[in-house]
Structure 1
Amino acid sequence: MKAAVYHGPNKLEVADVPEPDPTPGTVKVRVGYNGICGTDLHEYYAGPIFIPTEPHPLTGQQLPLTMGHEFSGTITDVGDGVTDYAAGDRVAIMPLYRCGRCPACRAGNYNICAQIGFHGLMSDGGMAEYTVVPTDMLHRLPDNVSLELGALVEPMSVAYHAATLGEPSPEGTSMVFGAGPIGIGLWFALRGKGVDDVFVVEPSATRRAAIEALGARTLDPLAVDVPAFIADHTDGRGADAVYDAAGVQPAVETALACVGARRAMVSVAIYEKPLSTPLLNLVMNESRIQGSLCYTAPDFAAVIDLMSRGVYDTTGWVTSIPLDDVIDEGFEALHAGTKMKVLVDPTGDRDCDGEHTGP
């Protein structure tokens, strides 16, 4: 079968590899779509970062390995002992490996497991025609949720988990900094939680146009004094919940100047450079910075439910490509900023459920 195998920085090869077989407690999945994540870009251009160069303690794998941790597909075979799933089931995959023994896992916070691993970063993943995953990673897709949307459950769950941590009020104002895929996911999640008063702050005209087409209200920080606008809009209260999905100093500074008293700026970005954080406003405002990592099963379930109710729409920001084009039309296009979200179709097929993915 074909797979995108990572060997190191700028070394991703679409190669023929052996087709995997399910082992006890696992299922074999025919991949429908696999999204290229910002983490994948970091690995390709500057890695290995998370991809292990020595055997990972939970998976035993190391590079070279098949990339891909945002994916959906159809089960084709099950391993011994699997009774809850069968061939033909359509699933989204929550790609977390966790130890189950560390304090975080014992408390139920396995998304911050001390030895956390990801299918497709610490093991052979979904950027292939087939992959094998444990049953605890599986989430069934309703009939009205396409495999295309199913591949977006993982990144949308990252955003949903962060949205929840911000404790947004339906009566308050929420703000999202950055209109990339996670920023778009935050906007969808907030809307799904009943928050109507949401502003997305984004300097890129292209990205502003993309999220505006979905129905969002945007602010251009190069043209608007964002903190002053929010102060006026909220009668001086500030924003109820603020989310940084941009990961750059100017966004963080502006976000912290907008957050209301005793409220949170939730950080869901990867910061490539050290930040200088203005703490005086946090002290005087008794506000805080809240980190957010990954998701748990309830986040996946919530996103799938919202998808089944038509909350999510891929129009204008999601592109599908064949596996053979993964470098030029995938990694290079995303790095150049000519595409926003790319889903790789490893088999060359289209989702047999139909093409409609909007409300």
Structure 2
Amino acid sequence: MTLEQDGDMKTGLILGTGKFELREVDNPVVRKGGAVVAISLCGICGSDIGAYKHGDDSPFAYPPAVCGHEWCGVIEDLDPEIDYLAVGDRVIFSAPPPCGTNCTACRQGKYSACSSIVAAFFGQDGFSPNSGGFAPRQCVDARRLIRMPDEISDIEGAMAEPASVASHCVRRSGLLTGDRVAVIGAGPIGLFTLQAAAASGAQDILVIEPSATRRELARQLGATHVCAPGREATECIGDITRGLGVDQVFECAGVAATLQDATTYVRQRGTVNLLGLSGVKAAIDTDSWLVKEIAIQTSLGFDKADMEAALVNMTNGSINTKSMLTDTIPLENLESTIKEISNGRDSVKILVDPRDIS
């Protein structure tokens, strides 16, 4: 870790493979259309770990993309022309706004695929901050902020982003009431996908995960069946579906081998949903996909409607975040924690409290 001493606050930055810097920077000032937010909690995302492990060779390399995008906080300062938020509001950092009419996706009403949203997600637009939520405060486009309901805790607010990613994928999947579902991977995205699928009416939900601890957590969060990958998963799905296969598979592990495993689990003309980023190339047997006429649905990110749905499910108890919290750490422990996770620490969700630093 390196530390530059020339500013008013410390921010944690992932700058490439194995490169982390706790840098002192100036406190942000409000910009036109912006809000300065005092950050309460920020989650460590799998993409942050991927950037630390593979950033120099990844399309998601930081910079220009920014680490620390799962956060909530309180507005400290605001462009006076903004009338839909106020100083003191508790807010969550959400999806960027679409351009509206300037790209093909928006003209087709597919706003979450807007080219400007994609640019903002990867830190390539004009209003992206140069650092993320691993900092005491941040100035962001106010249109990216959603006011937190009073019933939502800071822990839930900091996990709203991955919950929204899962909600987005389940919505895109076309899941029907009564569908049988397999979720591969019981990390944060997999556990939120399990809960979103249950809230959407899935009948049987099988979670496939090598960690016994995570399998038990999945069961506590509503999985009707849990099993280890491989033969155990294949036999369990065969028993549940009488050999037909599940209607929907959600690949949340981001592991190359599990992509091909999904063809074994899904029924004829079923759907495999991909939302786990692996950062590596995967080899598949295209014949096995073709013979079963499997539909492939991919999902990346979310839009505000997905976050609003996730917040409703948190409020009514359909989504449980507290059981998923492994630890809350101060900013000064961020580098060591990232290294531990990169080296295989079995954690589900770790939150950073950027206020807790000397």
Q: TM-score range by the shorter chain?
A: 0.7 to 0.9
Measured at CA, do residues 283 and 52 of structure 1 come closer, stay the same or move farther in structure 2, by a change above 3 Å? Answer: closer
Shift of 1:195: 1.9
Structure richer in helix, relative to its length = 2
Measured at CA, do residues 51 and 240 of structure 1 come closer, stay the same or move farther in structure 2, by a change above 3 Å? Answer: closer
2:27 matched to which residue of 1?
19
Find the aligned partners of 1:287 and 1:326 in 2 and give their Cα distance.
41
Shift of 1:246: 1.4
1:183 to 186, 190, 193: 190
Deviations 1:85-111 (A, max 9, x none): 001111111143755522123334343
Find the aligned partners of 1:46 and 1:176 in 2 and give their Cα distance.
25
Shift of 1:206: 2.8
The within-5 A match list for 1:343-354 is 343-348=351-356
Q: Say whether residues 1:340 and 2:352 are aligned partners.
A: no
Measured at CA, do residues 269 and 254 of structure 1 come closer, stay the same or move farther in structure 2, by a change above 3 Å? Answer: same
Measured at CA, do residues 162 and 205 of structure 1 come closer, stay the same or move farther in structure 2, by a change above 3 Å? Answer: same
2:67 matched to which residue of 1?
67
Q: Say whether residues 1:42 and 2:69 are aligned partners.
A: no
Deviations 1:149-201 (A, max 9, x none): 11111111111111122222221211100111110110111122122410101
1:136 to 133, 137, 143: 143
Output the TM-score relative to the length of structure 2.
0.86
Find the aligned partners of 2:255 and 2:185 in 1 and give their Cα distance.
10
2:16 matched to which residue of 1?
8
1:117 to 116, 119, 134: 119
Measured at CA, do residues 325 and 335 of structure 1 come closer, stay the same or move farther in structure 2, by a change above 3 Å? Answer: same
Output the TM-score relative to the length of structure 1.
0.86
- Give 1:117's aligned amino acid: A
Identity %: 32
- Give 1:329's aligned amino acid: T
The within-5 A match list for 1:255-274 is 255-274=262-281
2:79 matched to which residue of 1?
79
Find the aligned partners of 1:229 and 1:119 in 2 and give their Cα distance.
38
Find the aligned partners of 1:334 and 1:198 in 2 and give their Cα distance.
29
Structure 2 gap segments, 5+ residues each: 1-8
2:304 matched to which residue of 1?
297
Find the aligned partners of 1:282 and 1:50 in 2 and give their Cα distance.
27
Shift of 1:137: 0.8
2:93 matched to which residue of 1?
93
Measured at CA, do residues 138 and 183 of structure 1 come closer, stay the same or move farther in structure 2, by a change above 3 Å? Answer: same
Q: Say whether residues 1:127 and 2:111 are aligned partners.
A: no
Q: Say whether residues 1:28 and 2:36 are aligned partners.
A: yes
Two-structure CA RMSD over aligned residues (Å): 2.4
Residue 250 of structure 1: SS of its match in structure 2?
A: helix
Count of aligned positions: 339
2:5 matched to which residue of 1?
none
Residue 88 of structure 1: SS of its match in structure 2?
A: coil
